[in-house]
Amino acid sequence: MINYIFLFCFILCPFLVAGQSSLADQHLIWHSNRSNELHSNVEVAATCRFETHANNPIQLVYSSETFSFEIVSVEGTWNNINEDGFLTYVVNYQNHQGHIKFERINNVIAVVVDFTQAAATAMHQRYIISETE
């Protein structure tokens, strides 16, 4: 009997674990058409997209320009994009360390890019996400 229970768990467990994958493990594209400059709280019309690919660098694409952020570490867990949650990536860009936080709070999905630890006037923006794919 114990052998059957073990066999059942051995067969079923990989499927249960696979169903709980974090958004950090998925390839996602996050589209934005507006952002807030958090230093001045000014809203800016800015069409761009973020691309996340598991442990590959995060890409920020503005029309023909692409910025690549090397991932140092990931904090938080977020398994379902339709529910509130967050993932904070510690990233490097041109020898400066910062944070990129993907979050959903009260049905609003946003990406906050914060490099103010490198310099008080460095990039600190919140992008409102209009669509994900």
User: Cα–Cα distance between 129 and 101 in angstroms, integer?
Assistant: 12
pLDDT at 16 over 60: no
User: Cα–Cα distance between 49 and 104 in angstroms, integer?
Assistant: 16
Beta strands in 38-123 (DSSP E): 42-44, 48-53, 58-62, 65-75, 85-93, 96-105, 108-114
* Residue keyed to tokens 């934005």: 32
| Average pLDDT estimate for 88-94 | 96
| CATH no. of 22-132 | 2.40.160
Contact 124, 115 (CB under 8 A): yes
Q: Name the band, by pLDDT with cuts 50, 70 and 90, for residue 10.
A: very low
Q: Which two tokens stand for residue 80?
A: 């379902």
Quick one: CA torsion of 76, 92, 125, 22, rounded to 10 degrees? -30
Q: Name the band, by pLDDT with cuts 50, 70 and 90, for residue 8.
A: very low
- CA 121 → CA 100, 114, 118, distances in Å? 16, 10, 9
In tens, the pLDDT along 110-127 reads 999 999 987 888 889 999
